Amino acid sequence: MKILCVTNQALCKGDYLQQLQKIAAAKPDAMILREKQLSETAYQALAEQVQRICQGQGVQLICNHQISVAERLSLPVQISVSQLEQVSALSVPFGVSVHKLEEAKQAERAGVSWVIAGHVFATACKPDLSPRGLSFLQEIKRAVSIPVYGIGGIHVQNAAQVQAIGADGICMMSDWMQAEEPEQLMQQLRAIKPEEQR
C-alpha cells in the first residue's frame, strides 16, 4: 500500500519547510503540495523549494491543481474532475480527485494515472459533509483498473481498514503536518497489515 503525504501549511505547528524536510526524510511514496491558498507565482516558488527537498530524499513530488506549474517543473499533478477538459495535451502524469463512482470512470476514460477518492472517514477538513465510507472506496476500486487511493480522516488507527478493502494507497494530511517524528509515523504505517490478515 502506497503512503502519500498531502501538505497543508495551516495545519503545521512549527516551521513549514522544516516539517516537509522531516516528512521527506521519512520516505513517503509521494508528497502532494496542496496549498490552495497560494497564487500561481507563489505556488511555483514554493514548489521549486519543495522539489529540491523531495529530490534529496528520492520522494516524488506532485503538484495540486496548478497544471502550468507542474508542466514547467516536469512534475505530476493532481487535479479536480472539472479540470479534466484542460488535460488533453498534458505532458506530465496526472491524477484526479473523485467523489462519485461516475467521476472515477470518467477519469479513467480521460487517461488519468490514478484517482484519489474520498472522503472516506469523517474529517475536520470537511466537517459539514458526511463521509462516503469504505464501501464507496471499494466500489470505485472494483470499477476501474487504475490505482485508487483513499483520502479523508485516515490515520494509523484506521489505515488497515482502507488497505483491507483493496485500496492501492492512502493519503494523509493532518497526521503528517502535525507529527513531531514523521519517521516514527512512517514506521507505524509501514507495519500495518490488513485486518483480514491479522
Cell of 151: 483520502
Contact (Cβ atoms closer than 8 angstroms) between residue 172 and residue 186: no
pLDDT of residue 130: 87
Is 14 within 8 Å of 42 (Cβ atoms)? no
**3-state SS, residue 107:** helix
pLDDT on residue 196: 46
- With b for 16 or more beta-carbon neighbours within 10 A and e for fewer, the 15-35 pattern comes to ebeebbbbbbebebebbbbbb
Average pLDDT over residues 131-139: 96
The pLDDT score that the predictor gives to residue 197 is 43
Work out the pLDDT band at 138, boundaries 50, 70, 90. very high
> What is the pLDDT of the chain when averaged over all its residues?
94
Instruction: Read off the pLDDT of each residue in 164-172 and give the average, rounded to a whole number.
Output: 96
The pLDDT tens digits for 113-131 are: 999 999 999 887 777 788 9
What is the grid cell recorded at 181? Answer: 517524528
